[in-house]
Amino acid sequence: MPQISRAWDEQDAEEAYSLPAHFFYDQKIFDAEKKDIFFKSWHMIGHESELATPGSFLTQDIFEQSVIATRDRDGKIYAFHNVCQHRGNRLVEERRGKFSPALVRCAYHAWAYSMDGALQAAPRTECLKNFNKADYGLKPVRVENYGGFVFVNLDSDAQSVADMVPGALDEMRRFLPDLDRLRLIEEVDVIVDANWKVIQENSIEGYHFDLSGPVHKELAALIDYSGYDLTSHDNWWTYIGPPAKGETTHAYGVEIGNATYQTPWFFNIGLWPNTTFYSFPYTDMIGTFIMIPLDPERSLLRFGYYGIEGRELPELTQAAIRWMNTQLGPEDIQLNVSNQKGLHSFGFTHGRYLIDAERSSYSEHLVHHFHKLCYQAIRGAEHGA
């Protein structure tokens, strides 16, 4: 297998060889990604409406790290390392819920913390010499609200989400008029036997759209594929399909009729490294699509579906969610898994990106862009630097 050159990212996109196969299964590469990408980047963990009332919480595991986000009585959202300051016990295992009263109580010796992280009760510590509860609050984690979604970052020096993705929110608002009034409909977690980048790549290119499985063709039929536009903006990217020319009367097996919807476009926006927001044509929901790495060849694929607060979910949107969970998602996951297997072959080291000068609807320039971000983030790992 040829060694990757330090200058991999200096290749011209149109002539570039793709990222070498071992980037998708090598433990050393994965460890570097963990440290230099995921321990420094923003993780979208849910929507602020899931933290509607004091005491509500969300947790997110980032490898062996775990973060808990809470809402306090003052309405503020906080995030902390999910660990008790007595003997280091993990505090909460549930993904979401509500503490009532609004205290997180450690299951081991009942130390209890309020939603702002302050240690409120620590049984029998009166006997302790030189012990001050104020010194044993939960350890804070950076948390930000971007477009109503809650993001956390383990790196206290990280730039804000807004600074990382300038212009992204305006682009979201252009297609998602009800972005500010969302409610969670459901969350579906699927473990996929593939590297997280394999899953990402699949979602950010249109090349396979009308060439792979039958469900993809159904989606392609809803859009004007020739107008599918994939644009990169450093740390964020969009891939957007205009509505099909001519009249579309049905989608996802249901008549469109008077159904309310966010947009007739197929709208997708990706934020570095692993967050995607999207809306299927004619659906009244905003989907989230997060690929959470577990190990080099296993990822947790988290599908979130958000409807509009105070509005019933149209039958067509319900059909689209079912269709994603049972048809489109599985069709892509099958490709992810077979791609992952193939990457191990003695018969493959790297390929070519299908990138044309026009960056047309089927061009793989976003894959190249994404690989470049990954490569640059861990530069040197390959050489033990």
Q: How far apart are CA 47 and CA 120, in angstroms?
A: 27
- 332 binding partner (options Fe ion, ligand FES, none; Cβ < 5 to 8 Å by kind): Fe ion
- Would you count residue 90 as binding ligand FES (CB under 6 A)? no
Q: How far apart are CA 65 and CA 77, in angstroms?
A: 19
Backbone angles phi, psi at 332, to 5 degrees: -75, -40
Whole-angstrom distance between the N-terminal and C-terminal Cα of the chain? Answer: 20
Q: Which of 40-48, 86-94, 196-204, 262-270 is the region at the interface with ligand FES (rule: CB under 6 A)?
A: 86-94
- 107-136: which residues touch ligand FES (CB under 6 A)? 108-109, 111
Q: How far apart are CA 51 and CA 95, in angstroms?
A: 12
Q: How far apart are CA 298 and CA 83, in angstroms?
A: 25
- Would you count residue 201 as binding Fe ion (CB under 5 A)? no
Contact residues for 338 (Cβ-Cβ < 8 A; gap 6+): none
- 142 binding partner (options Fe ion, ligand FES, none; Cβ < 5 to 8 Å by kind): none
- Would you count residue 298 as binding ligand FES (CB under 6 A)? no
Contact residues for 28 (Cβ-Cβ < 8 A; gap 6+): 381, 382
Nearer to ligand FES, 65 or 325 (CB): 65
- 78 binding partner (options ligand FES, Fe ion, none; Cβ < 5 to 8 Å by kind): none
Backbone angles phi, psi at 68, to 5 degrees: -120, 130
For residue 74, give Cα distances in angstroms to 47, 78, 115, 116, 292.
18, 11, 10, 9, 31
Q: Cβ atoms within 10 A of the Cβ of 178, count?
A: 18
Token pair listed for 342: 């193939």
- 166-185: which residues touch Fe ion (CB under 5 A)? none
- 236-241 and 229-233 as β-strands: parallel, antiparallel, unpaired? antiparallel
Q: Which of 102-110, 233-241, 248-256, 377-385 is the region at the interface with ligand FES (rule: CB under 6 A)?
A: 102-110
Nearer to ligand FES, 40 or 109 (CB): 109
We find the least distance from the C-beta atom of residue 222 to ligand FES, in angstroms, to be 52
Beta bridge partners of 287: 278, 305
Token pair listed for 184: 């969670």
Nearer to Fe ion, 178 or 332 (CB): 332
Which 3 state secondary structure label does DSSP give 384? coil
We find the least distance from the C-beta atom of residue 193 to Fe ion, in angstroms, to be 17
- Would you count residue 348 as binding ligand FES (CB under 6 A)? no
We find the least distance from the C-beta atom of residue 112 to ligand FES, in angstroms, to be 9
Query: How many of the chain's residues bind ligand FES (CB under 6 A)?
Result: 8
Nearer to Fe ion, 229 or 312 (CB): 229
- 84 binding partner (options Fe ion, ligand FES, none; Cβ < 5 to 8 Å by kind): ligand FES
We find the least distance from the C-beta atom of residue 213 to Fe ion, in angstroms, to be 8
- 299-338: which residues touch Fe ion (CB under 5 A)? 332
Q: How far apart are CA 18 and CA 371, in angstroms?
A: 8
Q: Which of 66-74, 106-114, 174-182, 202-210 is the region at the interface with ligand FES (rule: CB under 6 A)?
A: 106-114
Nearest of 141, 101, 100, 137 to residue 120 by alpha carbon: 137
We find the least distance from the C-beta atom of residue 24 to ligand FES, in angstroms, to be 39
Binding-site member from 49, 89, 212, 325 for ligand FES (CB under 6 A) = 89
Token pair listed for 255: 């008549």
User: Rule CB under 5 A: which residues touch Fe ion?
Assistant: 332
User: Rule CB under 6 A: which residues touch ligand FES?
Assistant: 84, 86-87, 89, 106, 108-109, 111
